[in-house]
Amino acid sequence: MFYYQLTEKLGYNTSEVKIMEIIKVAPRGYCKGVIHAISIAKQTAKEYPDKDIYVLGMLVHNRYVMEALKLLGIKTIDDKNSTRIKLLEKIPSGSVVIFTAHGVAPQVKTEAQKRGLIAIDASCCDVVKTQNIVKSHLENGYEILYIGKKNHPEAEAICALSSHVHLICNKQDIVDLKDFKKVFVTNQTTMSMFDISELFECINEHYPNAIFSEEICNATRIRQQAVADLKGQNIDVLFVVGDKHSNNSTRLAQIALQQNIPHVYRIDDVNDIHEDYLKGVNKVAVTAGASTPTYLTSQVISYLLNFDKEKQKPAIDITKVL
């Protein structure tokens, strides 16, 4: 915990705000899957200096990471309205393609090979584990109920495995299903453990003989629990540093609201902090999504600790992101 004296700097009466306490929620930021993917991308740039290198989608869900990759000569091919296989059409033959941390469908790997691309897989090991569990149960004749987010690349890769994989986004999706005899249930690794619990209960009511395998990765779980543990600590404001595309950052913000934290802001970086957010505030907490660079989170914390509305916000140095 850190304390910062706020008086005239905010332009408020000294009786309005005396002390702002800053809580650095831990753990926060990069998980092992993100570190692994970035490491692979950097190594690929070194190994193929004379090749065009593309990432098929966002390597990790943070735009600053994408910008930093550009400095290494790595281009990102992404379109939320297109599948991974369609995106491959935009990559010239002979180029290097990096599959993202969110996993890749077998069909995409096959198509990349057909197109003469050098494929590098940066899939997170936890995502691969879930894929393998799903494949195993498909081979044994199960219908797979996969709890995930529509259009998320991790869910896309899993659902592409078979027509017997059914994406579950809400309770209505469960009601709309047929009366399957053999059902296996699992989930996207970055989902909220609280949302998963509710959907598991609903599925169990419809399919009492279903087999469940909760696959929220440990990094996601402990970050979510750390935010849940803020309940009852009289937090006035929580800043979640994370990209709008980051599902785990969004989930952290949702969990915070469920803990009755009055004001929760998902911010890309320090520039998204408005002075009014701090008016009348005594206790501020800061966390970050698993794909958020430590550099960006540290900058936010430093800004809050040394808040002065007369000073400009610090510039973001892209070279320090990776």
Q: What integer pLDDT is reported at residue 19 of this predicted model? A: 66
Q: Are strands 2-5 and 19-24 parallel, antiparallel or unpaired?
A: antiparallel
**Helical H runs in 25-184?**
32-47, 63-71, 84-87, 106-114, 125-139, 153-159, 171-175
126-216 is classed CATH 3.40.1010.20: yes
- Domain 2-30+219-320 and domain 126-216, same fold? Reply is yes
Q: How far is CA 253 from the centre of its chain?
A: 12
The closest alpha carbon to 106, from 159, 64, 149, belongs to 159
User: 155 by DSSP, 3-state: which?
Assistant: helix
Residue 255: its pLDDT value, please? Answer: 95
The span from the CA of 75 to the CA of 6, in Å, is 44
- Is 154 labeled as catalytic in the residue annotation? yes
Handedness of CA 168, 174, 176, 180 (dihedral sign): positive
Residue matched to tokens 């610090």: 314
Q: Where are the alpha helices (DSSP H) in 140-288?
A: 153-159, 171-175, 193-206, 218-228, 247-258
pTM above 0.75, yes or no: yes
Domain spans of the chain? 2-30+219-320, 32-124, 126-216
Q: What is d(CA 104, CA 99) in angstroms, rounded to the nearest whole number?
A: 6
> Topology of 32-124 in CATH?
Rossmann fold (3.40.50)
Q: Is the peptide bond before 314 cis (omega within 30 degrees of 0)?
A: no
Q: Which fold has domain 2-30+219-320?
A: Cobalt-precorrin-4 Transmethylase; domain 1 (3.40.1010)
- From 16, 67, 139, 154, active-site residue: 154
The pLDDT profile of the chain, 322 residues, written as one tens digit per residue, is 333 333 333 444 444 444 689 999 999 989 999 999 999 999 999 999 999 999 999 999 999 999 999 999 999 999 988 999 999 999 999 999 999 999 999 999 999 999 999 999 999 999 999 999 999 999 999 999 999 999 899 999 999 999 999 999 999 999 999 999 999 999 999 998 888 999 999 999 999 999 999 999 999 999 999 999 999 999 999 999 999 999 899 999 999 999 999 999 999 999 999 999 999 899 999 999 999 999 999 999 999 998 887 888 999 999 999 9
* Per-residue pLDDT at 12: 42
